[in-house]
């Protein structure tokens, strides 16, 4: 199934005390694609988190 509409944005914003918050918004139609797209986003976020945590360990 092809999306009729697919728009995403990502931001990194300050979140106090030297921390940041990652915001990922993804708008897709038809609604039937929300669950598979959400699963892909969850997978991508876990890789993103793993990469950031691994990089910060190397920075000391």
Confidence class for position 1, pLDDT limits 50, 70, 90: confident
Tokens representing residue 59 in the block: 């920075």
14: enclosing H helix or E strand: strand 5-14
Mean pLDDT along residues 30-50: 94
Around Cβ 28, how many Cβ atoms within 10 Å? 17
Q: Is 16 left (phi over 0), alpha (psi -120 to 50) or beta?
A: left
For 31-41, letters b (16+ CB in 10 Å) and e give eebeeebeeee
Give the whole-number percent of the chain exceeding pLDDT 70: 97
pTM for this predicted structure: 0.74
């Amino acid at each position: 199934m092809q999306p009729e509409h697919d728009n995403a944005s990502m931001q990194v914003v300050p979140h106090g005390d030297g921390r940041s918050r990652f915001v990922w918004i993804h708008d897709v139609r038809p609604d039937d694609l929300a669950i598979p797209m959400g699963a892909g986003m969850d997978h991508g976020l876990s890789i993103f988190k793993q990469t950031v945590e691994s990089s910060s360990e190397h920075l000391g």
